[in-house]
Amino acid sequence: MVGMRNWFRRRRGGTEVGSEPATAAPAPTGIFDERKLLGAEPAELAERFWQRWSALLPEVHAALGDRAPQRVEQLLCEVVADLHPELQFAVERGQRANYALVLTGQEDPKLRPYTDAWLARAPAEDLLWEYHDSVPPVPDPTEVTVNLGEHRLPLAEVRVAVQVDTAEQLVDVAVHHPRLADLTESAKQTMTFLPLDATLGERLAAERLRRVETAEAEPAGAVTLLELRTVVRGLAGLPDSPQSDSPQSDSTQSEARPPQDP
């Protein structure tokens, strides 16, 4: 996923890759009614999502082709909010297709029925689109550079102290980057959690990481992100490479660039 750009991702209180500190996406207008949500099953809402997505695809493709994704941002915000207003989403460069549509409940159990129903009813992947129900890992996090305001922070410089609890099959980590002292508290938090999501993927990180700390000084015996991936995936009984994971089961080298035109 070289050159991926997180165009539409909405993180609560977070900061996006390759961007200034994040601002909330436009609030949906007139589309979400809590009573409607309470009376509708996730499967019904997911079916409606994919019907609306199919209708919007020509407009989405035109906006992406013109490198003007902001034209459809509000529309996509509304469609996602109609599924559930607490879901987050992103349009990114895909690993197997040109684009990836990522929908995530940030591992909140109450949102899992909605993301499960959404993925179960997703169209078959093709050359243009793939779909993820959690933020997937990038193939090589050491090729990622995170832009936070004026700071360009290569993830190749991240080091992680790792403590494995073999009895519980969980891992405690402390994340260090040489530039952490230059960052605001919010950016420090971003640079603590973002490398872990990029390396492990959101779901594996939530399942296997227990305590996560920020380390402004490099801890003794710290490892690289790829070494961390090997440890955690091994603990979970997974192969080293996330590219061997099955599709639809669950965000760059240099600065972010738009995906290739469809």
What is the average pLDDT score of the chain? 81
Domain identity same for 124 and 152? no
- DSSP string covering 105-171: -TT-GGGHHHHHHHHHTPPPP-SSEEEESSPPPPS-GGGBEEEETTEEEEGGG-EEEEEEETTTTEE
Q: What is the pLDDT of residues 148-164, one digit of tens each?
A: 888 999 999 999 999 99
Length of the chain: 262
Same domain, 122 and 157: no
CA distance 130 to 95: 8
Whether 10 is in a domain gets the answer no
User: Is 90 in the same domain as 145?
Assistant: no
Based on the fold, state whether residues 86 and 109 are members of the same structural domain: yes
Structure confidence by residue, pLDDT tens digits, 195-245 = 999 999 999 999 999 999 999 999 999 999 999 999 999 999 998 877 655
Residues 145 and 235 in one domain: yes
Residue 250 lies in a domain: no
Domain-embedded: residue 188: yes
pLDDT of residue 244: 55
Q: Are residues 181 and 126 in the same domain?
A: no
Tracing tokens 């909010």 back to the chain, one arrives at: 81
Which residues lie across from 173 on neighbouring strands?
Answer: 162, 212
* Same domain? 195 vs 215: yes
Q: How many CA atoms lie within 13 A of 78 on its CB side?
A: 11
β-pair type (145-148, 209-214) = unpaired
Number of domain units in the chain: 2
Residue pair 117/234 in contact by the 8 Å Cβ criterion: no
Note the pLDDT tens digit of each residue in 33-90: 553 545 679 999 999 999 999 999 999 999 999 999 889 999 999 999 999 999 989 8
Report if residue 205 sits inside a domain: yes
Residues 82 and 145 in one domain: no
In a domain, 176, yes or no: yes
In a shared domain, residues 152 and 91: no
CA nearest neighbour of 9 among 152, 1, 23: 23
Residue 15 lies in a domain: no
Residue 219 inside a domain? The answer is yes
- The SS3 assignment for 209 reads strand
Q: Are residue 118 and residue 191 in the same domain, yes or no? A: no
Please give the model's pTM, rounded to 2 decimal places.
0.68
Q: Are 169 and 235 in contact (CB under 8 A)?
A: yes
**Could you list the residue range(s) of the whole structural domain that residue 38 is in?**
34-132
**Same structural domain, 41 and 104:** yes
Domain C-terminal end among 99, 132, 165 = 132
DSSP-assigned states of every residue in 135-146: PPPPS-GGGBEE
User: Would you say residue 259 lies in a domain?
Assistant: no
